[in-house]
A and B are shown apart, each in its own frame.
Chain A
Amino acid sequence: MKTGAYRAVFGMRAKMELQYRGAVLGGVVCQVFFGLILVSLYRALYRSRPQALPQETVVSYVWLQQAFFRMLLSSDNDLADKIRTGDIAYDLCRPVDMYWFYYARIMAQKLVGSLLRGVPMLAFALLLPKGWGLMPPASPAALLCAAASLAMGLMCVSAMENITMGITMRTLDPRGIQALLNLLMTLMAGNVLPLTLFPDAWQRVLFLLPWTQMLDAPIRLYTGVRETAAAAGVLGVQILWTAVLMLLGTELWKRNRKKLVLQGG
């Protein structure tokens, strides 16, 4: 497989995502406001009943989830439109593998979109007083492991997004299935409620599901909820799931290619 074309797609999409900086500012203000509301809530809960898990890890969990929100929830609207209008026919003519073409696009979109929002937000959260803001990483090693794990999470969530899109090619209407899968993802990835606050028995099961590989795993490594010594195991599960999702995705797209229904006329 020649990778040049995919790298070019990645670069182009990244540049495009850099264009809308005004929208980014609005998004950051929104997410910070939501972050402050959630942090206030968890502080009040801890005031009523302290837990074994330190409060600052929950607060940091909230900030990291808010900062990388865009990595979880952003889809390729161009592709959804192409499926709806039938323009996807043109993509079939391109001399590239469609799966990796769109994989590169969505990865660039998620990476640049979340970095643009995440970096200023995390800088802000680091400046907040202790107990309100983001805690420093548990150790320098923890930061490194978390960064590696976040990169793996990005690959995993991009593979998941391509599966959602693959299913959309079958249902042809993006609204229902996409919303369903995305909302399920926000819940299971820890965006609605930090997964560290789920019942302990649930957490052991959730840890093995694909959704926890995206943001929950890196956040746990950063905050030290999972020891750095366990990082190899965490990364292993992440790599395993990413590979499984990619296999499922490429197979789904290959089959779609044979029985794709083109809309429009």
Chain B
Amino acid sequence: MGPLRLYLKSTAMNMRIRMQYPLSFFMQTLAQLVMEGGEMLAVILIVDRFDTLDRWTGGDLYFFFGMMSVTFYLTEFLGRGVTGTFPSIVRSGQLDTLLLRPRGVLTQVLCSDADPRRIVCIAVGTAALCMGSAASHVRWTFLKALAMGEAILAGMMLILGLFLIEAVFCIFSVKSVELVNALTYGGRSACQYPVDIFPRPLKTLFTAAVPFALTLQMPAAFILDKPLFPWPEWTVFVCPLSGAAVFFVMAGVFHRALKRYRSTGS
């Protein structure tokens, strides 16, 4: 079975596993709704009080929030093996089993878990995108739709790449290192808002080092007809590739780290 078919089959299976306890699943999904609904409410209340944020209108802010929300939680939904379960795979010694099987370790980790509770977060994000698109009177074109699709895919790869940093630390330290998460979750919190409102150090961090601005926000700003950076239009389609680059670099580092892996033993 090819990696893709294997992944689709396991994801379908993992979703069924999660839904074996319907009441618990329902409560946990409701908790997710409270969490992401609360974040969304915060943006709505901010727009209600402040109207604008520098050159961005309320509609623009909803749109940026929606982009981040949809991308981040799609990643947590489909890539839960990397974003959530990997530390426990290492700690329990399960990683040894993965190394024995005739499939890539990263493929197997991705196949190990899926998190359908995040669907409500994705729904909240989609609602924010629709609100933003309507309030900012976005005129959709084929090119804009293409930019959005690319941004979401590249953004998902960027987020997976960031979680892989934590995974690499975990291979060596066994315990999960929450400090590494600061970059990932901090990036999510900060880049719900357009990056040009932040002071230079943060702006540089989220453009050059953790490129949420290049992968998610340049396309979002292009869709809103308010370019984020004064660069030519074709850069909107090239810059998101930096997200994919982060993923491939980190996947390489991950595989090198595995060569140094010494089992947790018992």
Residues of A within 8 A of B (CB): 26-27, 29-30, 33-34, 36-38, 40-41, 44-45, 47-49, 51, 171, 173, 175-177, 179-180, 183-184, 186-187, 192-193, 197-199
Contacts and interface: CB of A to CB of B under 8 A. Distances in A.
20 contacts: A26-B177, A30-B181, A34-B182, A40-B198, A44-B197, A45-B46, A45-B50, A171-B27, A173-B27, A176-B31, A179-B27, A179-B31, A180-B27, A183-B34, A183-B38, A186-B38, A192-B41, A193-B45, A193-B46, A197-B49
A69 to B, nearest CB: 13
B202 interface: yes
Nearest to A181: B31
Interface of B: 21, 23-24, 26-28, 30-31, 34-35, 38-39, 41-42, 45-46, 48-54, 177-179, 181-182, 186, 189-190, 193, 197-199, 202
A47 B46 contact: no
A70 to B, nearest CB: 13
Chain A at the B interface: mostly helix, strand, loop or mixed?
helix
Contact of A199 (B24, B48, B52, B190): B48
B26 to A, nearest CB: 8
A106 B179 CA distance: 25
Given A183-B34, A193-B46, A49 B52 contact: yes
Given A29-B179, A179-B28, A192 B54 contact: no
Contacts of B199: 40
A199 B52 CA distance: 16
Given A37-B189, A176-B27, A30 B178 contact: yes
B28 A48 contact: no
A44 B53 contact: yes
A159 to B, nearest CB: 21
